[in-house]
C-alpha cells in the first residue's frame, strides 16, 4: 500500500524499517479505504515516522506506550517550527495538524484510546434519576429518533443550567428554578425554540413524578410562552434569485454537481433537508421517471414525477461526482472519510450558496428554498390543501401561513370589496 503513495523504494524501505512501520502501513490502508487524498497521506506519514523515532528516544518500547508521548511531541514540533511572534491561534492549528493523524493512528493500535477530541456530551444528562426516559419516549409515546434528539438537546440545556447554578440533583428542582431556566433560555433562542423546550421539560417532569422521583408534578408550573399564530412570514426568495443561485454553482467539480442536484430537489419539490439526505439510489425509478420520498415527517411517503432538469443533474452527479461505494445512499461527503451527507450539511450547503449569490434572508438554509417552492405554488393558484399534500405537511394548519404571501389575492382584497376572493 505504501508504494501507492511513495514512488522511491528507499522512502518505502525507510518507513517500513521504523519500529512502528507495521502500524503506519495499517493506518495508510485505513486511510485508503476511506478515500483520503494521496497528498494528505504523503504529508502525514513522515510525521508519524518522526513521532515513532521521538517516542523511541524517550524510552517507548511498545505501542501501548505511544499515547504518553503524543503531547510532548506536539509541543516539540510547535516550538521548532513556529516563532513566539506567531498568533496563538495559528500555533494551535499547527499543533492540531500534527496531533490529528497521530491520534487517528493510535486509535487503531491502542484499545480504548480516544485522545484529545471534542468532549462528548452525555446521551442522557439525567441518567442517574431517569435512566429509561428515552426508552419511555420511544416505546410508550412512539416518538421517532429525530424527535428524541430534540428532547435530548433541551435536557442538556437544562442540565447545563442546573450546573451553572450549582444544583446537583434534579430532586431539588423548584418552581423558581424552572422559571429561572425559562427566563435564561428565552434570551438566547426564538419563541418557538423556547416553547419546544418547555414542552420537553413538561414531559420530563411528568415522567419523573410518575416514576416516583419527585413527590410533586412540576410539569404544571412550566408555562409556555404566549404563541402568536401566523405571526411570521415564510422566508422565501424570488424565482430570479433562485436562478442566480443555481447559475453560480460550479458544476465542474464533484461538490458543485452534488450541491446543484440537492438545490434542485429542495426548490422543485419543497423537500426538507432530512428528506434529501435520506434519499437512496433505490428511490428513483428511471424508466417511469418517478421519485419516491419515503418516511416523511408526517409518517407517509410521496411519489413525484421526476423533472427532466432534476433528473439530468442527478445523473451527472451519480456518473461524474458520486464516490465509488457500495452504500445505496445518494449524496456523500466530497472529502474523506467517504460517508453519506447529513441533513445539517444539506442545509449548510444551501445557506452557503444563498450567501454566495448575495441573497440576504433570515436563517438562510434549505427551508428557504422549501418556502420558495411553496410560494411558487401559491402564485400558481393551487389550493392550500394541494400545496400541503405536495410538500408533505402533516396538518392543513401548517400551510395556512402561506396565505399571507398570496400577493395577488391580497391585492384584490385591497382594491375591492373582497367578496370574489372570499
Cite the active site residues. 272, 297, 367, 370, 393, 402
DSSP 270: -
CA dist 197 and 200 (Å) reads 5
- With H, G, I as helix, E, B as strand and everything else as coil, classify residue 24: helix
CA dist 102 and 100 (Å) reads 5
DSSP 160-188: HHHHHTT---GGG--HHHHHHHHHHHHTT
Q: List the grid coordinates of 236.
A: 422565501
CA dist 330 and 314 (Å) reads 9
DSSP 404: G
Query: How many CA atoms does the CB half-sphere of 22 hold within 13 Å?
Result: 4
* CA nearest neighbour of 198 among 162, 157, 232: 157
Cβ 239 vs Cβ 246: under 8 Å: no
CA dist 27 and 67 (Å) reads 16
Amino acid at each position: 500500500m505504501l508504494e501507492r503513495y511513495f514512488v522511491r523504494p528507499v522512502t518505502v524501505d525507510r518507513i517500513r524499517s521504523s519500529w512502528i512501520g507495521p502500524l503506519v502501513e495499517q493506518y495508510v490502508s485505513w486511510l485508503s479505504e476511506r478515500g483520503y487524498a494521496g497528498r494528505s497521506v504523503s504529508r502525514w506519514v513522515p510525521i508519524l515516522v518522526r513521532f515513532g523515532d521521538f517516542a523511541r528516544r524517550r524510552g517507548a518500547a511498545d505501542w501501548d506506550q505511544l499515547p504518553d508521548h503524543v503531547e510532548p511531541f506536539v509541543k516539540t514540533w510547535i516550538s521548532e517550527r513556529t516563532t513566539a511572534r506567531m498568533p496563538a491561534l495559528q500555533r494551535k492549528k499547527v499543533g492540531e495538524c500534527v496531533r490529528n493523524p497521530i491520534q487517528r493512528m493510535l486509535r487503531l493500535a491502542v484499545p480504548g484510546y480516544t485522545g484529545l477530541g471534542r468532549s462528548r456530551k452525555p446521551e442522557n444528562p439525567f441518567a442517574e434519576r431517569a435512566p429509561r426516559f428515552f426508552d419511555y419516549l420511544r416505546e410508550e409515546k412512539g416518538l421517532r429518533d429525530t424527535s428524541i434528539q430534540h428532547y435530548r438537546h433541551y435536557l442538556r440545556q437544562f442540565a447545563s443550567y442546573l450546573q451553572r447554578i450549582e444544583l446537583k440533583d434534579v430532586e431539588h428542582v423548584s418552581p423558581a428554578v424552572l422559571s429561572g431556566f425559562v427566563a435564561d433560555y428565552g434570551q438566547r433562542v426564538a419563541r418557538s425554540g423556547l416553547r419546544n423546550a418547555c414542552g420537553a421539560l413538561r414531559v420530563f417532569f411528568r415522567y419523573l413524578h410518575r416514576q416516583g422521583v419527585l413527590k410533586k408534578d412540576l410539569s404544571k408550573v412550566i408555562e409556555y410562552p404566549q404563541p402568536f399564530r401566523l405571526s411570521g412570514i415564510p422566508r422565501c426568495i424570488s424565482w430570479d434569485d433562485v436562478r442566480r443561485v443555481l447559475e453560480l454553482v460550479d458544476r465542474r467539480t464533484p461538490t458543485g454537481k452534488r450541491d446543484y442536484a440537492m438545490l434542485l430537489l429542495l426548490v422543485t419539490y419543497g423537500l426538507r433537508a432530512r428528506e434529501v439526505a435520506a434519499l437512496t439510489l433505490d428511490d428513483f425509478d428511471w424508466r417511469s421517471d418517478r421519485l419516491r420520498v419515503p418516511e416523511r415527517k408526517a409518517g407517509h411517503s410521496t411519489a413525484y414525477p421526476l423533472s427532466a432538469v432534476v433528473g439530468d443533474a442527478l445523473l451527472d452527479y451519480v456518473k461524474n461526482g458520486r464516490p465509488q461505494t457500495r452504500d445505496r445512499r445518494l449524496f456523500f461527503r466530497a472529502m474523506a472519510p467517504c460517508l453519506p451527507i447529513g441533513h445539517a450539511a444539506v442545509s449548510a450547503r444551501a445557506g452557503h450558496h444563498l450567501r454566495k449569490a448575495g441573497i440576504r434572508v433570515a436563517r438562510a438554509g434549505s427551508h428557504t428554498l422549501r418556502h420558495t417552492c411553496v410560494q411558487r405554488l401559491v402564485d400558481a393558484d393551487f389550493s392550500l390543501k394541494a400545496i400541503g399534500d405536495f410538500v408533505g405537511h402533516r396538518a392543513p394548519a401548517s400551510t395556512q401561513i402561506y396565505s399571507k404571501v398570496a400577493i395577488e389575492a391580497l391585492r384584490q382584497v385591497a382594491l375591492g370589496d373582497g367578496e370574489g376572493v372570499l
